[in-house]
Structures are given as structure tokens and as C-alpha cells.
């Protein structure tokens, strides 16, 4: 079979938000809404595709990612200073677990929950140049955090195979997708290896998710695409995005075959070249995603 190409003109601009750094889409299958974050705007958003309404909360810091909660209302926030909870009824933000207080140049970035309801989120250096001062943390349901990786420049896309025994991870400046063996019970990682290398001219690997067939969907920062790769690293599908900086995607809709894609822009010139950049895009894929796993704490 040949490679599938989805043209930019076939995408729908579901939400013309114009966010400078839209990120972290998460589909809420219970409410049939899409959660996403505006990192630079320091806001968490809740988009309802039914009426195209978008509600947002100011959270007092650059929020890298969020996790829905299993048993209580609100969402978990990966804020620059660590893990917090946003009460979506009152708008209150409560700090629960500080992270890297000794590294003020770092902030938290992308994250996702595994099948056991543990929220994994990493950090990145935000100053000039590149420093490998970032780490990846696993937040367990009892609100204890474990550092599972360090020496990271920009902790980004993360997801697991359907059997939960392989974790995929992107440290964007390395241009690699690495895989790890995972002990599903303990969350311990081992046997790190590179399964995919993205040429630098194609863009940097940013957010990532897996579908129900264990294929990887990778957003390319500076590449204007989302790409689907087989577990063996073969390029299967290319979705062309009318934005240069593509950040992450999430499966949603009643059958989990819609894909929502967040985007960003850098500088006024780029904003003029891509007037829809920063918006949330949507298209049908013909591929089924997986239900969102919620934080169990």
C-alpha cells in the first residue's frame, strides 16, 4: 500500500484561537470535549465541538500539559514549578508537588497518563541556547513523583504501546524517537533504543500519540506536518498542516476517528505567512484512536 497524504485544504479549522503556543490536546470522552493548553497565554482551554464554544482558565504560569482526573473534578497541571490541580468550578489552582525548585531556568512540558493512571511529564530548559538539564517524572496516584530520566534538553512526546510494555519518548533537539521496555506494574524503564530518526530539515519531533494499531502519530515543530509511522519506523501517513509549527494531536469524536491538532507560531512574519497558525485543526483519519487514560489520584 502507498503512503496516505492528507492535504492542508482538507483540514477543518475547528477553533481559530490564534494561540502563540497551543499544545497538549486531550479528548474527554465522557463530556465529548477537547482540552488543550495555551502555554504562552498561561491558560487551560475546554473546547466543545458541538457548539464550538471555548472556555478557558488562567492558571498563573506556563502550563506544559494537563491530565484529566478519574475520581474528582478538575485537571492536573504540569506548571513550571511542578504539579498542581485546577478546580474548573472555582478556577482555583492548588499546588500539590513542587518539581525542580533548584532549577529556575526549567519548566514542565509535555505529558500523558499511562494505563495505570500515572501522569508522566518532563521538563525543559527555557533560557538561551540548549542545556540538557531537563528530566522526565512519573507522578503516581499517591502524589509521589519519581525521576525516571535525566539529561534531557526538551522533554516532549510520550506514549505507550497497547500492551503497556513499550514506552516511546521524544527529546526534540535529538531528532529521535526512543523506545524503552516498561515494567507495567512498577513503571521501571530499561533497554533504551532509538526506533526513529527525523531529519532536521523535516522539523523536530514534538508531541506524539499512538493509535489503536500501535502506530505513532508525531507532530513536527517547524515541519508543518503530522506523520504516522508504523512500529517498525515506516512512514505511513502524512497530514499537511496550514501552520509551520505543529505541536501535538489527539484522537477524539464519538468513534475516536477525528484527529485534533494544536499549533503555534513564532514572530509576526510567520503569523502573516500562516494566518491560521495557533488554531486547533481537525480531520477524519480512517484510523481509530484510544480512549484517554485519566490520572488515578
First vs last C-alpha separation in the chain: 44
Residues of the chain with pLDDT under 50: none
Check 38, 159, 206, 258 and give the catalytic one. Answer: 206
Active site residue 206: yes
Report pLDDT for 1. Answer: 58
Report pLDDT for 296. Answer: 97
Cα(82)–Cα(230) distance, integer angstroms: 34
Report pLDDT for 71. Answer: 83
List pLDDT tens digits, range 112-152: 999 999 999 999 999 888 899 999 999 999 999 999 999 99
Report pLDDT for 245. Answer: 98
Beta bridge partners of 258: 252, 284
Amino acid at each position: 500500500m502507498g503512503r496516505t497524504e492528507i492535504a492542508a485544504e482538507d483540514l477543518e479549522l475547528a477553533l481559530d484561537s490564534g494561540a502563540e503556543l497551543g499544545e497538549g490536546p486531550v479528548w474527554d470522552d465522557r463530556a465529548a470535549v477537547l482540552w488543550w493548553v495555551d502555554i504562552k497565554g498561561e491558560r487551560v482551554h475546554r473546547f466543545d465541538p458541538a457548539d464550538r464554544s471555548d472556555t478557558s482558565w488562567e492558571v498563573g504560569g506556563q502550563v506544559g500539559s494537563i491530565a484529566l482526573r478519574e475520581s474528582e473534578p478538575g485537571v492536573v497541571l504540569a506548571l513550571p514549578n511542578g504539579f498542581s490541580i485546577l478546580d474548573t468550578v472555582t478556577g482555583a489552582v492548588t499546588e500539590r508537588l513542587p518539581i525542580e525548585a533548584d532549577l529556575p531556568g526549567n519548566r514542565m512540558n509535555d505529558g500523558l497518563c499511562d494505563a495505570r493512571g500515572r501522569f508522566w511529564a518532563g521538563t525543559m530548559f527555557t533560557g538561551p541556547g540548549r542545556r540538557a538539564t531537563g528530566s522526565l517524572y512519573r507522578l503516581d496516584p499517591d502524589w509521589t513523583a519519581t525521576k525516571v530520566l535525566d539529561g534531557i534538553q526538551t522533554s516532549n512526546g510520550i506514549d505507550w504501546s497497547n500492551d503497556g510494555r513499550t514506552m516511546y519518548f521524544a527529546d526534540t533537539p535529538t531528532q529521535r524517537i526512543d523506545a524503552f521496555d516498561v515494567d507495567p506494574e512498577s513503571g521501571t524503564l530499561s533497554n533504551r533504543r532509538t526506533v526513529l530518526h527525523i531529519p532536521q530539515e523535516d522539523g523536530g519531533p514534538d508531541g506524539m500519540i499512538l493509535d489503536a494499531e500501535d502506530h505513532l502519530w508525531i507532530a513536527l515543530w517547524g515541519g508543518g506536518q503530522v506523520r504516522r509511522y508504523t512500529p517498525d519506523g515506516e512512514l505511513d501517513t502524512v497530514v499537511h498542516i496550514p501552520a509551520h509549527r505543529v505541536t501535538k494531536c489527539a484522537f477524539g469524536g464519538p468513534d475516536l476517528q477525528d484527529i485534533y491538532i494544536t499549533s503555534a507560531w513564532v514572530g509576526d512574519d510567520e503569523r502573516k505567512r500562516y494566518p491560521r497558525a495557533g488554531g486547533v485543526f481537525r480531520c477524519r483519519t480512517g484510523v481509530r484512536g484510544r480512549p484517554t487514560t485519566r490520572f488515578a489520584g
